[in-house]
Copies of this chain bind each other. A is one copy, B any other.
Amino acid sequence: MAKVNRSEMEEFLSKEFPQANFLIESFDEDSVTIRRTVTTEDLRPGGTVSGPTMMSLADCAIYIAILREIGLVALAVTTSLNFNFLRKPVASKDILGVCKMLKLGRTLAVAEVTIYSDGDDRPVAHSVGTYSIPPNK
């Protein structure tokens, strides 16, 4: 079903986003997991990972999940992102975003991302995002 395999996606990402600080952790049939190394500038006072760092991870995980279905040429654009912050992430750990597609329509895709601190299975945040897909995909 997917139009793009893992190595094609990794090649695409390293070419298009050379400065990106995330990695594909897994590329399963029904989900994509992205790992982001947390650096000092991602932290907030109190020793926690900043909201925008988590939002950036969620946005990126959805983007990758959509591109592998519709192909690397398409110009998908985020139209909305809903975010719930559930627990304080651990500052010294990477964060992982597990993305599942809820709908992949002709013009709109909806996906959910659950975010974890590495090594803990209680989610630190949950996000639902919608992307607009250009007509001539």
| Partner of A52 from B56, B107, B110 at Cβ < 8 Å | B56
Does more than half of chain A's interface fall in helix, strand or loop, or is it mixed? Answer: strand
A82-B80, A86-B102, A103-B86 given; A128·B126 CB < 8 A: yes
Copies of this chain: 4
A23 to nearest B CB, angstroms? 18
Residues of B within 8 A of A102 (CB): 84, 86, 114, 123, 126
A31 at the A/B interface (Cβ < 8 Å)? no
A102-B84, A102-B123, A112-B126 given; A78·B51 CB < 8 A: yes
CA distance A79 to B52 in the complex (A): 13
Closest 8 CB pairs of A and B: A52-B52, A86-B103, A52-B56, A81-B83, A82-B82, A80-B84, A55-B55, A84-B110
